[in-house]
Structures are given as structure tokens and as C-alpha cells.
A = this chain, B = another copy of it.
Amino acid sequence: MLIVMNHNAGKKQIEAVSKAIEKMGYTAAPIPGGERTAIGVLGNKGYVDDSNIRDLPGVQEVIHVSKPYKLVSRDFHPKGTVVKISGVEIGEGRRPVIIAGPCAVENEEQILKAARAVKAAGADMLRGGAFKPRTGPHTFQGLKEEGLKLLALASKETGLPVVTEVMSPDNVGLVASYADVLQVGARNMQNFDLLRELGTIRKPVLLKRGLSATLEEFLAAAEYILAGGNGAVILCERGIRTFETATRNTLDLSVVPLIKELSHLPITVDPSHATGRRSLVPSMAKAALVAGAHGVLLEVHPEPEKALSDGAQSLTLQGFARLMDDIKRLMPFLGFPA
């Protein structure tokens, strides 16, 4: 931690800050500069709560050098983590994983049709929502446990492992009893009770980045799960909220190579939610893979125009098959067989 003092801060103020630092058990190292003095904090083992310091007289700014996460950091775990899910492996050095399926499970016919088709086209895992977070209370909220059962059925028939969202700590056990991977949605990225609960289970978690989460907050959210004892976390960039409304969200693809520098966890991309427009999904799926993503999540629906949610961003079965052909053509460039 570094405390930057005002230009006018006097000797007394600098001493008072130094004393406060030492009261916290650290060492204070004043660095006089041309315009102002800064005071380094030495001896801390991790992130320091700055509340005792930030508002002392003469303090202009407090700058954190340590991060609010450690277990997820590549600094402390240089080797990339590979998460294993019933035969599928996702992470460093592995062939990128394609996770596809409808936004919501709607009925048996729909999910089976979707599952068979994405399997046939080459998908590695099936996605589909049984619990659906929706902006307003007057729209379709998912089939709940019935949906989980249909997902399990589709998984059994196709052999595809299943990823599906869990929205509250109560339901973690239930969802875990049906799904192979539990997804935390963007709106719940900082639902800390949910994260803590997911730290106690032994199934992989796919953690989506919050709409306005910084990279640091995203990694700190993953830290909750790892701190609880569950190391099988897959990160997922799904677009952030910005001033731009031409797309549903703004896909922040640059975080893919950056997360690979900062963390050992696998990072995937969801271009369907990020763009919100079917016509943009194939370009961005391929771009994500070339940017280094360990996998992509794609919404695919047998009849998007009849979908109960997010039809506009869902690929058709044919559209998905075409994209898979393209992705296969891209594989050699990425270092894997077509």
C-alpha cells in the first residue's frame, strides 16, 4: 500500500500517518518526492484495509499494491488449472471446449432436439437454464426442478455433460444433484452467500463476470469459491455494461489474454449474451477462440423465433452447424486437429 500525501502536508501529518501504519503492525517508509511525499507500507502479507488511513489529515490518495485475491492468482500458482468434467477437460493446453444449447429449457422436445443437434455438430457440453433470472417479475422464470430433470435426460441420451445456472444458496444441492457444472450468472457474481456455498461442493463452477465488475472484482469473486475449498472454477466473460446500446452488452475480449496472465483459471467467452444479436455471434465466437479463450458458450435453439427467452441471440441449428464447421477449420491455426 502507498499513501500519497497532499503537496502541503506538513511533517506532523506525515508522522501521524506513519504512526497509524505502525499501529496496524506494518512498517512505514516515507518517500519524499519533488511535489509531495508518499509513504510506503511494508510488511503486509496481503490486502490491507485502508479505512484507518484514507481519511487522516493530509492524505490525498491511498493506492493498493496487493490485490484482494491470492488463490486465483497466477503469481502463486504458475501452472494453468485444467478443470475436468466427466470426460471433458477445459483449460491451458486443451482443445477449446464448445458449450451449446438453448437459453432456457422449455420442454422435453425442445431440449432433446437441441441436445442432439449440438452433439451432432460437435459440441462438447450442453447448456440450458432451469432457473432464469429475469429483469421483471412478469416474464417466464424457468421450469425449475422439472427443467433440471429434462437437462439430465438430454445429458443421458447424448452423453454431453450439462452446465446450468444456480441462483440461490438453497438450491446448490438440488442443482448439483442434476448438473455437471453449476453456473453463477452475471447478476449473482457478488452474491457472496451463493459463492460461499459453492466453495463447499465438489463440482465445477462456471462463474460469469458481473455486468459492471472490474477484472479485480471478478477474480475476487472466484477467490470466494477457492477459499471455500473448491478449486474447479471456470471464468466466463459475457460482456459488460457500457454507454453503447447498439449491442446488448460490450464484449470485453481483451480480458481473455489478460486473465491468462493474471490467473491460472480457465477463461471462456459467451458471445450470445455479450452481443445479443444472432448475426454477430459467429464472428465473435471465432474471435474469442483466436484471442485465446479456453471455450465458448453459445445459445442455440431449434426454433429461435418461438423461444421463451433470448430468441434474438440464439443461433439456429443450421447456423450452429455452420459455425462449428468454421471453428473446425480454425483449429489447426490454434494448434489442434480440425
Contacts and interface: CB of A to CB of B under 8 A. Distances in A.
Interface stretch (A25-33, A91-99, A156-164): A25-33
Interface stretch (A110-118, A119-127, A146-154, A239-247): A239-247
> Looking at chain A, what size class is its interface with the partner chain?
35 or more
Contacts of A246: 214-216, 255, 258
B44 A33 contact: yes
A244 to B, nearest CB: 6
How many of these chains are in the complex? 4
A254 interface: yes
A34 B40 contact: no
Nearest to A226: B137
Contacts of A107: none
Given A253-B284, A284-B291, A308-B49, A242 B245 contact: no
Given A35-B45, A257-B283, A290-B290, 9 more contacts: A6-B75, A32-B42, A36-B65, A52-B306, A138-B223, A167-B193, A246-B255, A253-B253, A256-B283
Interface of A: 2, 4, 6-8, 20, 29, 31-36, 38, 40-47, 49-56, 61, 63, 65-66, 68-70, 73, 75-76, 78, 133-141, 167-170, 187-188, 190-194, 196, 211-212, 214-217, 220, 223-224, 227-228, 240-247, 250-258, 261, 271, 274-275, 277-280, 283-284, 286-288, 290-292, 304-314, 329-330, 333
